[in-house]
Amino acid sequence: MSASDSARQVVECRVCGAADWQEVVSFGPVPLANSYLDPADSYDDEPRYPLDVVSCRSCRLMTLTHVVDPEVLYRDYSYVTSDSETMDRHMRLVAKLCRERFDVPEGSFVVELGSNTGEQLMIFRDAGMRTLGIDPARSIAAVAEEQGIETLPEFFSASTAKSVAESHGQARVILGRHVFAHIDHVAGIAVGVRNLLEPEGVFAIEVPYALDMLERTEFDTIYHEHLSYYAVGTLATLFERHGLRVIDVERISVHGGSILVFVGHGDGPWQQRPAVKELIALEERAGLHDDATYREFAAKVRNVTESLTALVRGLRADGKRIAGYGAPAKGNTLLTVCGLGPDDLEFCSDTTDLKQGKVLPGSHVPVRTPEYAREHAPDHYLLLAWNYTEEILRKERAFLESGGKFIVLHPEPSVVSAESLAAAESVAAARRS
């Protein structure tokens, strides 16, 4: 079976059913971003799948044109939630917002879809809730079980929801953090949620925010797992069609700008908070319904890839040694789209055991441990894990102070040093005072 046999082409919009698509960007056949490889002499048989994005002119869902079979993507999935201060703080915030805004009492039942190793559910458990994780990645579900979080190694669907409701009762909170954008059959999820959710329950989903992705040119967050790029208006349309209602939304900074969207039963007790209509109005003002906005995004993507490639190649021509900081999935999109490889980046440093010793899909840059990176410190790090910029720059103060530099992507590709960071900090401090 060839790689393209395991990818389905999207015909109708998964949110509104229309089939009027605007092309946005096309990155061509690209390997799966979380398929880290064992080092080999040749990577000629590495599977590649189309990675193209279109926008629905009716509801403005942005989606990939091809859906890779979830059995291929997720059964042997090795992505584990990053063990970082930023994520820990964020998961605590999610738990707090759910509990405080929606009066979730102690002893409530909390279910998480795509629960990974169970870190988010542990926070609910420690607050006195009953928890259940549902995650199809068998080895990751087993890790969660070992950590004391009961986890079904299944895909969530209308039928899983029904059997959980029968075996465990209905849930007060259902969570889907950064999994919802990975799901093709969102209608089945909505039906499942309607069955499993208590009448006054909330379904809290977290997705990267399409508005942030477009405005900040975060095109590297496009990879095969991320099928949908959602605006609040699009989610409101989706849930309304399935007897549910968006009741609140919060913009949050994780993963380059995300939204935490709270959904209740259409006839449930929760009033819609003003933030929902406010963000939908903001999306209209920002041009999310206009073809021109998506054409501008495509032009910005071209500019960023050209300027980053020129910056890296210029430094290499000056004899500088460059390595990647972090080996996140999005780095694989970035390097593949820019055509950067082992001649440009000597290695990527990453804290994840499962990635160390492997090579990156597509670009085939080797992944090394942070210890190796300290012993072979480059002149410049390309900050691929840019969603942790603050935390990483703080952690790498010694590297910076010894003259090391970072290539950062936002707001545009540029080099930062200890001096330029200190100057930027004093400008910010002057503005604050």
Phi-psi region of 362 (alpha: psi -120 to 50; beta: other; left: phi over 0): left
The strand ranges marked E within 158-213 are: 171-177, 197-208
Residue 330 C-beta: closest distance to ligand TMP, Å: 7
User: What's the token pair of residue 79?
Assistant: 């992505």
Whose Cβ is closer to Zn ion: residue 62's or residue 384's? 62
User: What gap in Å lies between CA 249 and CA 396, rounded to an integer?
Assistant: 34
State the DSSP string of 309-357.
Answer: HHHHHHHHHTT--EEEE---HHHHHHHHHHT--TTT-S-EE---TTTTT
- When asked if residue 117 is in the footprint of ligand TMP (CB under 6 A), the reply is no
Q: Which does 34 bind (CB under 5 to 8 A by kind): Zn ion, ligand TMP, none?
A: none
State the DSSP string of 255-274.
Answer: GGSEEEEEEEETTSSPPPPH
- When asked if residue 10 is in the footprint of Zn ion (CB under 5 A), the reply is no
- When asked if residue 22 is in the footprint of Zn ion (CB under 5 A), the reply is no
Site string for ligand TMP, 383-402 (x = CB under 6 A): --x-xx--xx--x-------
Report 35-74 residues binding Zn ion (CB under 5 A): 56, 58-59, 61
Whose Cβ is closer to ligand TMP: residue 70's or residue 256's? 256
Q: Which does 327 bind (CB under 5 to 8 A by kind): Zn ion, ligand TMP, none?
A: ligand TMP
- When asked if residue 351 is in the footprint of ligand TMP (CB under 6 A), the reply is yes
- Angle (nearest 5°) at CA 184 between 304 and 104: 100
State the DSSP string of 2-52.
Answer: -GGGGEEE--S-TTT----EEEEEEEEEE--TT--B---S--TT---EEEE
Whose Cβ is closer to ligand TMP: residue 13's or residue 418's? 418
Which of 328, 362, 366, 378 is close enough to bind ligand TMP by CB under 6 A?
Answer: 328
Whose Cβ is closer to ligand TMP: residue 65's or residue 352's? 352
Whose Cβ is closer to Zn ion: residue 186's or residue 315's? 186
| Residues within the interface to ligand TMP (CB under 6 A) | 82, 84, 326-329, 349-352, 355, 385, 387-388, 391-392, 395
